Chain A
Amino acid sequence: MDQQELRDLEARCIQEEPPRCQAACPIGLDARTLCAAVAAGDTSRAWAVLLRHMPLPGVLARICDHPCESQCLRNQAGDPIRIGALERAVAGVAATRARVLPMPKRAGKTAVLGSGLACLAVAWDLCAKGFAVTLLTGAKTLGGRLGEYPESLLPRAAVTAEIERLASLGVTFETGLDRGRLDPKRLLASFDAVCLGGDDPASSHLPPEAFDPETMAASEPGLFCCGIGMGGGAYSPIGAVAQGRKAALSIDRFLQKVSLTAGRAGQGRATRLYTNIEGVAALPALAMADPEAGYSSAEAAAEAARCLQCQCLECVKACPFLEHYKAYPKIYARQIYNNAAIVKGQHTANVLINSCMLCGLCTELCPEDFPMAATCLDARRDLVAKGKMPPSAHEFALMDMEFAQSEACFLARGAPLSPGEGKCRRLFFPGCQLSATKPEAVTAAYAALREIFPGEAGIMLSCCGAPARWAGREDLFDASMARLRSFWEDSGRPEIIAACPACLNMVEAGLPGAKATSLWEVLDHSDLSFPKRSSEAALAVHDPCTVRERTQVRESARRLLSRLGASCEELRFSGKRTKCCGFGGLLSEADPDLAATVGSRRAAESRADFVTYCAMCRDRLAKSGKRVLHLADLLFPGPDLDPAALPPVGVSRRRENRARLKRTVLREIFGQSPPEPGAGLILHLAPEVAAVLEKRRILEDDVRAVIAHAESSGKKFRHRQTGRFLACHGPANATFWVEYSPADDGFAVHNAYAHRMALKEGRS
């Protein structure tokens, strides 16, 4: 990511865009913060907001004609916030003697002709920056039309206080002057800049012929104006102030001899901020007990509490990862950029980069489609390329992928018993996770496919490489795809049928020439009959995040559920807005605690049992204790009476399942390998021994394999006293030990145990 890309990215996130009120205000008053302060009863903070933005706050806050209210988003849910009234309430109670710190004196003297609100604003802004200002007027009293307001609304004292403040900051006032003194051309000789005020009746006889509304500069250099077009009924206090502010900025630049026009944002820009008001109840504005006096403090607080506090955070509200880092995508983009730019990486940003589930929900919800997934994935690739990716981040997942592609688990075969050797028109790709957690579903689904496509369906047991892609390891992903491509080409470029939607996405990305479809679509379009679900209880459908863009797959899954007689409930975030279970992007590797939170929050979104059609989603949700079915549990029921209650499958059992699945498929479907070692051996187990094996989840087949190996190789131990044998065998990820002794027709088994740690070969 370079600087320009960062800026483009930051611009996509609208969270820092101003709320509508602020965007509509000609002086950019932060009415949102004002409302928060007033609602909290924090008058000094509220006053500070006014003081930060407003010239002569004691005056303007009382009489501002609030264009902000017309843009207030609340007007889509009731009445707009009465911002003007709130400001008036604050001005009434806040200390008016706020300190304005004088700036160091700057060169350049300005004359302001007129003492209306616009002119006073010019004087305010310029003297706050340290310029010398002299205000000249033909009137005897200062304030122009300010004197026309009723005392109850704009007390004379308030005007006087602001004028006194101006005087204390060095503004010189000359009142009651005759026309001769008010000649702009003469004044330009003795002042460096002159501003003509149009909103002071006593001075408005000298409007400039032409002026530039952007800079308020008139035709002659050094001559500016303000308060223009305020005559008759068109008087607007905020308009006057806005003109005054513009003129003051121009005069500032003019006196410093810099460009008047460079970098001046247009006024009244529409904001891009989006605020979701779904579910916000419409509320009317609070009534005033005494309209002439305005809101009391309590009334103001209640009215200010109606403020929506507009902000976006749509993505943060939906995603625990974005919420976890306590910021929002614009900030994250910069953190990610900085992480890459610094030579030695920052710990926090690495974990952030590795924690995005890459699921795309935020992009879907974002009004500007902020690409968080792409940003994080690019950052991961960048870390890998620079050798900065901490190996521990994805080590386990990559090892698991390697195992799934290893000799013990990998299998690629064309259709069994088909005339073309090794060819197939369809290739079943169940994926490494379904093989690991529900191998019986793989065999059942493959049988179904062979029924739908007789003589056409081959099978490939492997990993699609998703862990490599998510880890930013494109080298490993390419190697993974190359293997698939090679078999795909050799077997006649079959249509790939994937059980797991993640595999579908990977195949489409890595093998663009291939036609790929989902197992669920194939089953949906078939006329196989499936058992009807006995339970009446509704199931909440959890769409895996990988089907976000795959409408057909989602619809097929639902049609299958309907065909199974299952009644379904739609979660609020489903379909295109589905949420990740916590496995996406390898979050469960990078931050297991956060992944657990993601899983439990999702599980809590409905009381109903869930049903899903991704093996990882099923496992992650089960890990949080949720009752969850895999679609395969309903289509191809197994012996478990309550598959929704099955616990998640542990690390080593997954590997055993994959290895055993390969052997089972080879043996039972392709008849292509020697039978399970020890098949046919007769075992005698006392009930307590059988119970121990059951508890330790050691299958009799495992026991047979050990005994067969020990008897044929002679590698076994003998107990000195009992004469029993003890031997081991470890075909895959676990090593099994069996204590046994010969019996008449077979063997008596006394004990069995297993472990995952392996003895390294290569010693004597």
Chain B
Amino acid sequence: MSEIIAYGAPDADWVCAACDRPLAPAPATLTYLGSDFAVTLMRCPDCGLTLISEELALGKMLRVEKLLEDK
């Protein structure tokens, strides 16, 4: 499992609607502009649907996108 815990506490409020299962931390790879990052995100253990919360998308991910885009 990756050291980088990208998800936050509120992620636990979501469940997978199709499988009706709570989510669990799982390894995932985020990629942008040719760089890959091994992170841990919340995922449905059955179907693998992976959650990216608003907090993550507009917080850390946005900062990383800017960082990688900046020369």
Contact = CB atoms under 8 A, between A and B. Distances in A.
Do A and B share a direct contact in the complex (Cβ within 8 angstroms)?
Answer: yes
Interface of A: 395-396, 399, 589, 592, 651-652, 714-721, 725-726, 728, 735, 737, 751, 753-760, 763-764
A737 B17 contact: no
B23 to A, nearest CB: 8
Contacts of A721: 13
B14 A753 contact: no
Contacts of B33: 395-396, 399
A395 B34 CA distance: 9
Contacts of A757: 30-32, 61, 64-65
A332 B26 CA distance: 54
A758 B54 contact: no
22 contacts: A395-B34, A651-B69, A716-B49, A717-B17, A717-B23, A717-B49, A718-B17, A720-B13, A721-B13, A726-B14, A737-B52, A737-B54, A753-B57, A755-B57, A755-B61, A756-B65, A758-B30, A758-B31, A759-B28, A760-B28, A760-B31, A763-B28
A715 B49 contact: yes
Is chain B's binding surface mostly helix, strand, loop or mixed? Answer: mixed
Contact of A753 (B47, B50, B51, B54): B54
Contacts of B54: 737, 751, 753
A716 B18 contact: yes
B34 A725 contact: no
B71 to A, nearest CB: 5
B3 interface: no
A718 B71 contact: no
B57 A737 contact: yes
B15 A720 contact: yes
A714 B65 contact: no
Contacts of B34: 395, 399
Contacts, number: 83
Nearest to A591: B71
Contact of A755 (B14, B18, B51, B65): B65
Contacts of A720: 13-15
A713 B7 CA distance: 24
A265 to B, nearest CB: 49
A47 B47 CA distance: 89
Name A's interface SS. Answer: mixed
Interface residues of B, number: 32
A757 B34 CA distance: 10
Contacts of A651: 69
A759 B17 contact: no
Contacts of B65: 652, 755-757
A101 to B, nearest CB: 54
Contacts of B49: 715-717
Contacts of B61: 755-757
Nearest to B15: A718
Interface in B12-55: 13-18, 23, 26-34, 36, 47-52, 54
Contacts of B26: 763-764
Contacts of A754: 57
B17 A760 contact: no
Contacts of A652: 65
A720 B26 CA distance: 20
A398 to B, nearest CB: 10
Contacts of A726: 14, 51
B27 A763 contact: yes
B58 interface: yes
B62 interface: yes
A652 B62 CA distance: 12
Contact of A756 (B13, B28, B32, B47): B32
Contacts of A756: 32, 61, 65
A759 to B, nearest CB: 6
Contacts of B47: 715
A759 B16 contact: no
A419 B26 CA distance: 56
Nearest to B19: A714
A151 to B, nearest CB: 71
B50 A759 contact: yes
A757 B65 CA distance: 7
What are the nearest 6 A-B pairs in CB distance?
Answer: A760-B29, A755-B57, A718-B17, A717-B14, A757-B32, A714-B18
A759 B30 contact: yes
B32 A758 contact: yes
Contacts of B57: 737, 753-755
A589 B69 CA distance: 11
Contacts of A753: 54, 57-58
In the complex, which of the residues A717, A721, A754, A759 has the most CB atoms of chain B within 10 Å of its own CB atom?
A: A717
A760 B30 contact: yes
Contacts of B30: 757-760
B15 A717 contact: yes
B49 to A, nearest CB: 5
Contact of B71 (A592, A725, A735): A592
B52 to A, nearest CB: 7
Given A652-B65, A716-B17, A756-B32, 11 more contacts: A715-B49, A717-B51, A718-B14, A720-B13, A720-B14, A755-B52, A757-B30, A759-B29, A759-B31, A759-B52, A760-B30
Given A714-B17, A720-B13, A763-B29, A728 B48 contact: no
Nearest to A721: B13
A598 to B, nearest CB: 15
A760 B14 contact: no
A763 B61 CA distance: 20
A720 B52 CA distance: 16
